Chains A and B, each alone.
Chain A
Amino acid sequence: AQSVSQHNHHVILSEAASLELGCNYSYGGTVNLFWYVQYPGQHLQLLLKYFSGDPLVKGIKGFEAEFIKSKFSFNLRKPSVQWSDTAEYFCAVNAGGTSYGKLTFGQGTILTVHP
């Protein structure tokens, strides 16, 4: 069965620091990859997604992620974080040939940004 691993449970940064959240998945075939974010008191929402083409994808609020197939990774990055980026971030994969939104999620990374 496919799995998704997020390396860090809790990351604490100061504003303007650079961010990289790790995500690795275990599936050898074609995948669609997602990062979802849950801001405090809000619903889980899509940050960005990869399904084909350029492996560097850009999302909302200055986030980007790079799909590296050889490393089975889809790390999330942001060059300069803001206090408003404080949230929980989930990496997810759609794999195995399903044609609908059946996602396998990682356990999540809590990001705390201090002003």
Chain B
Amino acid sequence: GAGVSQSPSNKVTEKGKDVELRCDPISGHTALYWYRQSLGQGLEFLIYFQGNSAPDKSGLPSDRFSAERTGGSVSTLTIQRTQQEDSAVYLCASSLTGTTTNEKLFFGSGTQLSVL
């Protein structure tokens, strides 16, 4: 596609439910990232994919969070047993190679997650 696509754009869920957030990166981009932006905070790195592998999961806040990427393309971020503190905007980004530090990231429009 022309840009990074995320779905849903908004998700409201009840505490304790599981949610899945989807990211479709730019075609041909090898690297994919998930970031989170909580209210009043900067973007917080969650996980990095190189192809289908995730060599850096250091930003995942707890074992309730997991992510996978299939076919070197679409990625799904899953949050189990959601808590109110999980409420945030979840942003996905992709880049061409993920092998240089100054590579431009292309961001999606994000998923606004609200946990009631």
**Which residue of B3, B31, B42, B108 is within 8 Å of A100 (Cβ)?**
B31
Say how far A69's CB is from chain B's closest CB, in angstroms.
16
**Chain A residues in 8 Å Cβ range of B104:** 46, 49
Instruction: Scan residues 25-84 of chain B and give those whose CB is less than 8 A from a CB of chain A.
Output: 31, 33, 35, 40-45, 48, 50, 56
Min C-beta distance of B95 to chain A, whole Å: 5
Q: CB-nearest residue of chain B relative to A41?
A: B109
A interface residues, Cβ below 8 angstroms from B: 4, 6, 32, 36, 43-46, 49, 51, 90, 92, 94, 98-108
Complex contact B102–A102 (CB within 8 A): no
Q: Number of B residues whose C-beta is below 8 Å from A?
A: 29
- Chain B neighbourhood of A51, CB < 8 A: 101-102
The 8 closest A-B pairs by CB, nearest first: A105-B42, A51-B102, A44-B107, A105-B43, A100-B98, A107-B42, A32-B101, A94-B101
Can you list 29 pairs linking A and B with CB atoms under 8 Å apart?
A: A43-B3, A43-B107, A43-B108, A44-B43, A44-B93, A45-B106, A46-B104, A46-B105, A51-B101, A90-B42, A94-B101, A98-B56, A99-B98, A99-B99, A100-B50, A100-B95, A100-B98, A100-B99, A101-B48, A101-B103, A102-B45, A102-B56, A103-B45, A103-B105, A104-B42, A105-B43, A105-B44, A107-B40, A107-B42
